[in-house]
Amino acid sequence: MRKKIIFLLNFALFSICSGQMGINTVSPQKTLHVHGGLQITNELNLGGNGTSAGNSGNVGQILKSGGPGQPAIWGTLAGTPNATGTVMIVDGHYVVAQEITVNLSSDFAGPGNPGATLAINIGNLTEELIDNESQYSANNTSNLFRVTNDGVYKVMMNMQIQTTNNTQPVIGIWDNSTNLWVARVNDLFTAPTNTGLQTYTLLTAVEMFSGRDYSFRAANTSGFTIKALSSGATGAGPVSEVSIRRLK
């Protein structure tokens, strides 16, 4: 008796027409049309020719469309920023929010100025912690900064002050163009002794505009000293600091 052994081969559906190949489709739309999952267990090369395998890209790059009729390319995520700071999205693009944070490097003494219409520019704000767009400058008598984009900015100022009781020191951000406060805080100074200290804190968010000069300022009817360090028997640390950061 003759035995017949029949092997059944299971092939995926291929369709080749007009130079196009389809896998699991009878109507390929491109040179290679895969209708289903595609598994690649090694590098993916773009471009190349009969003598070159093409470009496999670099670690961390992503595949980016070149648009209709154009080859895809390897690239980085659109708008990925390199600067230090907080990443935010503006108009669909990643940007690093402008940020300035500075500590008072040494005590700053300001004169009393009863009835003054201009606040005193705070000096010694020179210990920069971050200025990621290089828009801040300062020395022992003044400071100045600019914002690179119109927007809303988070403001933080913390100042430890020594002055005369029953006066009302004020600290804040000054618009040098209009000679007006942009943001400020004041309070009655009531330290228990003549050498006592009181801490003033400003936390707010305000609009600021590119093309203008701003500064951190203070004022009082009596002379005052802004302390750089808070100290005691157990040690000392920075206490007076200013900071702005773009929110939107």
90-125 pLDDT, tens digit per residue, is 887 788 999 999 999 999 999 998 877 889 999 999
Residue 188 in this model has a pLDDT that exceeds 70? yes
27-70 pLDDT, tens digit per residue, is 888 878 888 888 888 888 888 887 888 888 888 788 888 888 88
Residue 153 in this model has a pLDDT that exceeds 70? yes
- Looking at the domain that runs over 96-246, which CATH code has it been given? 2.60.120.40
Work out the average pLDDT over 124-135.
Answer: 97
pLDDT band at 18 (very low <50, low <70, confident <90, very high): low
**Domain assignments of the chain as residue spans, ordered by start:** 11-37, 96-246
E strand segments, 193-234: 198-208, 214-219, 224-227, 229-232
Q: Minimal CA–CA distance to 135: which of 247, 228, 238, 246?
A: 246
* Torsion, Cα of 162, 164, 168, 173 (10° steps): -30
pLDDT value at residue 81: 66
Q: How far apart are CA 169 and CA 239, in angstroms?
A: 17
Work out the average pLDDT over 185-196.
Answer: 88
Predicted TM-score (pTM) of the model is 0.71
Q: Which of 90-99, 201-210, 219-228, 234-243 has the lowest mean pLDDT?
A: 90-99
Q: Minimal CA–CA distance to 86: which of 72, 101, 73, 107?
A: 101
pLDDT band at 86 (very low <50, low <70, confident <90, very high): confident
* Torsion, Cα of 163, 164, 170, 174 (10° steps): -60
